[in-house]
Chains A and B, each alone.
Chain A
Amino acid sequence: MVKPKNSFKFYAMLALFLSLLVFLSGFSIGFLVNDFKQKSISSDLSNIMKLIESNEVEIALMNFLDDEISCEYLNLRVGSINQEVHELGLRVSAYEGANSVLTEEYYSIKKSYINALINNWINVEKARNLCSLNYSTILYLYALKEDCPRCEEQVYALSRIKSQYGIDSLIYSIDTTLGLEAVNMLMYSYNISAFPSLVINGKTHSGYASSQRIRELMGQ
């Protein structure tokens, strides 16, 4: 009979130890990566918030100067800020997709992010009216899957719009579940009671809108 060097219990204990070690290491690495992601999102957010603040001053200044050349400048600024906001949005959504358990710290960052989005949207609307800029703004208001079964579908329709119009369509995804006062005010002002809802160039559309319907609303 060929006997093993050690008992099965020995191998099982060692395997259990290694499995736990790997699991704990996985948790630790996951935790570190998560921490890095949160910090990175937070730092990007504060940079964007500074840009938005500066943009607000630029709009006020332009209003004061009543200068046509400033409109060209503002157009460029709005474009670059929105590009950064959009990239941050993708990171936020990738982060949420990868983490089924989200921390309080993350929710706090997300609240700031949503506030920044609304701030940016206000600036763009102001700039659009002031300089007749060619942008279309879309506020997309969403809720939890249980309250909004067609939200996922709405995202795909908006993705199609984004891929078609690129920087000319500015889409702001607003999470209505965070209890933000600014969001409540928006919902009240634009008469939003169902999800998904879209505010396209200042006009409300309740319920799911196909990409074709969004194109029509953008053209109006």
Chain B
Amino acid sequence: MELMLVFILIFSFSMLFFSFICILIFIDNYDRLWIDPKPKKKYSISAIIPAYNEQKSIEKTVNGIYMQDYPKELFEIIVVNDGSTDNTKKICQKLQKQGIIKLINKKNGGKANAVNLGIKNAKNELIYIMDADSFPEKNSFKSMIGYFNDPKVAAVSSSMKVNSKKNFFEKMQWIEYSLSILFRKIQSLFNSMYVTPGPGSIYRKSVINEVGGFNEETLTEDMEIAFNIQNKGYAIENSMNSIVYTNTPIFLKQLLKQRKRWYSGYFDDSSKYKHLLFNPKKGVLSALLSFNIVSVLSLIALFFYSGAKFAVNSKNSLILFKASEFAINIPSIKGFQILYGINFDLIIFALISALSALMVYMSLKSCNEKIDIKKNFPLYICYFFIYTLFLTVFWLTGFFHNFFLRKKGEGWHG
């Protein structure tokens, strides 16, 4: 059997399996996805905002936290100005004078470094991390803190939504982030979340100290700490009611830069915690991580294989494009003959597309997003057939960056 066919069969089966798991869990647990435990005591929170050149958004971020529907005496806001060269410092000094925030100024040392400094200066038992380009809805704290009744819970993440969906890439990320909201909740139900996103996650300070703080030598400190926490046997939860809005890249170049960092960090962290892979003792987390890494590597292999095949046949492929205009002129092709082109691959492809569309629908519904199938149909089609190609390229870039280009111990200084 042709190698390509084997790849396609394995990949199709994995996609079907994964889609079914998500759909079954979603349907069976629909009534409990939005239930957040009520706090059994008053939790005090230190919100930390690491900021590097965030003059455009820092005020909105601080206000989003300050306006939380939560007693003011139970939380503090610490902004760590990580050597900004724009007006971030000035804006923060104004907020400090108003008594809204505590400001720490330092030399640029990267996000993880800034967060660690913030934690050192935090006085409360729970640490809320918020990226300076994001802001929460006002019920965020209330929705999340109840999970900390369980001493095994070390962190709780929010549901991330895009702040704006005006241009093509923002719209694509809107669908992508909506899907992630559902996936994260499903993962959290089975203690298998492998990232606590930078915008709007709460951590138990004692556990952060126990695991040695945020790793400053990784590109994705929010993923590394999630691996680290679960490696120590703690749980990570997710609240679908705690919504955080984040600014997403508008242009392809920015998006590529962001994803290169994310996916390079993913490979780096997975290598560091490779003992979590294919390890039955680590339960669902290990199963999901293993499935994820196999899928990503298969996708990269498939991409390489197709690319190599295309390169070998490039001459013929180019002629194919040229010839297609003549081929359609053949007068005797009838609609009925389309049937002769149907095969097993096409049937499975149609089924996977239908299941994926169902997942997008469920995700958008679970995020209370407006679903206008008629208006947004071209968007969904673009997501499945165009944006997924971009994602493959991003994964490939991350893979190469991590294994061939990245300097050892290089952290994120953005």
Contact = CB atoms under 8 A, between A and B. Distances in A.
B284 A8 contact: yes
A15 interface: yes
Interface string B24-39: 1100110010011100
B347 interface: yes
A22 interface: yes
Contacts of A97: 341
Nearest to A15: B20
Nearest to B340: A94
A160 B323 contact: yes
A144 to B, nearest CB: 14
- Which residue among A2, A33, A94, A152 has the maximum number of chain B CB atoms within 10 Å of its CB? A2
B25 A4 contact: yes
Interface size class of B (residues with CB under 8 A): 35 or more
Given A23-B13, A159-B326, A1 B341 contact: no
Contacts of A86: 332
Among B37, B322, B347, which residue has the most Cβ atoms of chain A within 10 A? B347
A98 B347 CA distance: 12
Contact of A2 (B13, B20, B189): B189
B300 interface: no
Interface residues on A, range: 35 or more
B98 to A, nearest CB: 38
B133 interface: no
B373 interface: no
Interface string A1-45: 111111010011011101100110011011001101100000000
Nearest to A162: B330
Contact of A18 (B20, B25, B331): B20
28 contacts: A2-B36, A2-B37, A2-B237, A4-B189, A4-B190, A5-B29, A6-B28, A8-B284, A8-B287, A11-B24, A11-B25, A15-B18, A18-B20, A18-B24, A19-B16, A30-B347, A33-B342, A33-B343, A36-B339, A87-B332, A98-B341, A153-B319, A156-B326, A159-B327, A160-B323, A160-B326, A163-B326, A163-B329
Going nearest first, the 5 A-B pairs with the smallest beta carbon separation are: A156-B323, A30-B344, A15-B20, A94-B340, A163-B329
Interface of B: 1-2, 5, 13, 16-18, 20-21, 24-25, 28-29, 32, 35-37, 147, 150, 153, 189-190, 235, 237, 283-284, 287, 316, 319-320, 322-323, 326-327, 329-334, 337, 339-344, 346-348, 351
